[in-house]
Chains A and B, each alone.
Chain A
Amino acid sequence: MQEMTLTPVTPTIRSRPVYAPLEPRAGRLHLIVADGEGAEAVAEMIARAPDAAAMLGAAHVIYCPGPNGTDMADRLAALGAAQFFRAPTIPALLPRLQRVLADAHMGTQFYLAGTEGLIGQAEREIMATGFPVGAIQKEHRGSTVRRVQCVHCKGITENVATDPFRCSHCGLNLFVRDHYSRRIAAFQGVNIDAEDPGKAPPPVVRFG
């Protein structure tokens, strides 16, 4: 069943993180960060927990709607975690996550679910605090739009659906290189028509 709902990703991008269904683990604190359809992955994981009540009693859930508008906050809140917080967007969610991480102890388990933009930015915050990569699980659900950094001006364009696309900062036409930086939590965008100015191919929807 899991394989049916996990967002399929091209397996050929070697720098892209590997995603797998979330598995409940033993931990002192379960820090769960999700957006959009990631809520379903969280609910399914908790349903599989040997002692769901105990897990929820030590769980802090931080959630925001997905870039496609999917909002399952009510369903997640109804699970009954010790703490639940809904932010309107990812940027609005991150300060909360940073504050929680400041107090998190070793033995905390991290569960990230939803879009790559959410997963990447949350993972970056967690890794900056020095937690081992092994304590972080990631499940990609929902929209496949990408967060892309323009390699030229360094500005990040969120929710890129087409390839090529126009950089929202410097305006260059960029193609989305299949190269991902966890430190920046973004794919790389490179000018597509530098050698033939004004002759960029028409945008094609590649990420939905």
Chain B
Amino acid sequence: MSLDFKPGEFSDFFRDETFRGDFTYRNSPHLIRRFPFPFDRDDYMYAVNMEPHVPGRKGTAFEHILDVDEHYVAEMIDRAQVLAEDPLRCQSLPHMTLAGWDVLEFIMETKARDYPHWFTLERDGHRWRWINRPLGIDHSFTFLDESTLPYGPFEYITRQTQGDWTLQDERDGTLWMDAGIATSQADWSVDFDVGMNFHEWHAPVPIAHDLGVFDRALKFLLKLQHGAPVRRFNWTMTVNPLLDTAPETYPRWGPMRTTLTPENMGELMHLRVELQSLYRLPRSNAIAFDIRCYLARFDELVTVPKWARRLHRVVRDIHPDLAAYKGFLRNRDMMTEWLSRHDDGAPTSPGWWPED
């Protein structure tokens, strides 16, 4: 497949790796500890669990508003492959173009500010020049003029940004997912869900509706202010480092779940964490939702003793409906058994940081 960008610069930092075929994706040993481990205690149940999305500890995935890590270039190549195979993975209803420009501006400004050695944004009125050195892009265009971009503004910038993104229009007291790009999703379909409101697109999630989680989350999000983004975690399990676990391609990746054995567990089973962040956009008043996917295999995670103990206890005790929804019920006993060998029963400290 031909790419419309030219990666190559900074190849000492960005890993050359794959999320399909030979699955060469790895976390470098010194970077395992920056993994956003999602469990701050030894058990798990749904919660709204929103907190302000502000820059956090240095050397962690929270250091910058948009985290660009060693997997950036490889993820963008994978996204281009998915979109070439299935353009329906990126959709934007006609009234969402302005929100697309909003998110383009937000991403370009944020990356140019936090990673000036990789990204540059020059502005002269509405004449903009965007330089993305890791992807070899140097492009001048007119802000708010779609004809000067090779894609719509939303697709243009999200082809250069890790994480799945959706744009929510606000009307009738709810949020409508009227644009989205998903090539690293945990089994939900942009093509099916685009145009749905907040409660509709969450319909298949078990238990949480009855807990009132979505009512409270929606109430919270409708009050979201420009300049005060929020974040939360979600997580699931994936056999092999697959970014693309779409329902569309489930017949292709679902069978991989049956290849798991106690011997290959540490290599094949990955904790898949979504670091979700939400931003109110200034012109359109839409809300941008960034679902950033991080993968770490069990072998990598158990090098951190606290995480090894905790992951075992969470998997062992989770509600079966949640294990089924997250797609690992069939392998749960084998996972618990493997993880138990890395849990000495010692108490764990509160919070998700590795060393505390």
Interface residue ranges, A against B (CB under 8 Å): 13-16, 133, 149, 151-152, 154, 172, 177-184, 188, 190-191, 194-197
Q: Are A184 and B251 in contact, with the CB atoms below 8 A? A: no
| B6 touches A (CB below 8 Å) | no
Are B199 and A181 in touch, CB under 8 angstroms? no
Q: Are B257 and A181 in contact (CB under 8 A)?
A: no
Q: Kindly provide the distance from the CB of B114 to the nearest chain A CB, expressed in whole angstroms.
A: 37
Q: For the A-B complex with A183-B195, A191-B254 known, give 4 more contacts whose Cβ atoms are closer than 8 Å.
A: A154-B88, A180-B203, A181-B196, A194-B251
Instruction: Assess the B192–A178 pair: CB atoms within 8 A.
Output: no
Shortest distance in angstroms between B296's beta carbon and chain A's nearest beta carbon? 23
Closest to A14 in B: B203
A149 touches B192 (CB 8 A): yes
Known A-B contacts A149-B192, A151-B248, A154-B88; A14 and B200 likewise in contact (beta carbons under 8 Å):
yes
Interface size on B, residues (CB 8 A): 26
A17 to chain B, nearest CB (A): 10
Interface string of B211-222 (1 = CB under 8 A from A): 000000000000
B227: chain A residues within 8 A (beta carbon):
none
B250 & A15 in contact (Cβ 8 Å cutoff)? no
Contacting residue for B257 out of A15, A154, A180, A195, CB 8 A = A195
Cα A154 to Cα B88 with chains together (Å): 10
Q: Does residue B109 face the partner (Cβ distance < 8 Å to A)?
A: no
Verify B209–A196 contact, CB threshold 8 A: no
CB A135 to nearest CB in B, in angstroms, measures: 14
Please report the C-alpha to C-alpha distance between residue A180 and residue B204 in the assembled complex, in whole angstroms. 10
Cβ of B137 to closest chain A Cβ, rounded Å = 32
Contact surface of B with A, Cβ cutoff 8 Å: 88, 172, 189, 191-196, 199-204, 209, 247-251, 254-255, 257-258, 330
Q: A179-B204, A195-B258 are in contact. Are A172 and B248 (CB under 8 A)?
A: no
In contact, B250 and A177 (Cβ under 8 angstroms): no
CA–CA, A196 and B259, complex, Å: 11
Bound-state CA distance A182–B257 (Å) is 32
Q: Report Cα–Cα, A131/B193, bound state, in Å.
A: 21
Is B200's CB under 8 angstroms from A15's CB? yes
Name the A residues within 8 Å of B209 (CB-CB): 14
Closest to B252 in A: A194
The minimal Cβ–Cβ distance linking A73 to chain B, given in whole angstroms, is 33
* Contact residues in A for B196 (Cβ distance below 8 Å): 15, 181-183
Instruction: State in angstroms the CA–CA spacing of A13 and B249 once bound together.
Output: 24
Inter-chain contacts of B193 with A (CB < 8 A): 181
Residues of B within 8 A of A151 (CB): 189, 191-192, 247-248, 250
Contact A188 B189 (CB under 8 A): yes
CB-CB nearest in chain A for B188: A179
Offer 6 A-B interface pairs, CB within 8 angstroms, sorted by A.
Answer: A151-B248, A152-B250, A179-B204, A180-B200, A195-B255, A195-B257
Contact check, A194 vs B200: say whether CB atoms are below 8 A apart.
Answer: no
Q: Which residues of A contact B199 (CB under 8 A)?
A: 14-15
Q: Select from chain B the residue with minimum beta-carbon distance to A191.
A: B251
Chain B residue contacts of A182, Cβ below 8 A = 195-196, 200
Given A14-B203, A151-B247, A179 contacting B192 (CB threshold 8 A): yes
Name A184's closest neighbour in chain B (CB-CB): B192
Once the chains are docked, how many angstroms separate the CA of A44 from the CA of B43?
55
Task: Find B204's partner among A154, A178, A191 (CB 8 Å cutoff).
Answer: A178
In-complex Cβ contact of A183 among B172, B194, B330 (8 A): B194
Min Cβ gap A189→B in Å is 10
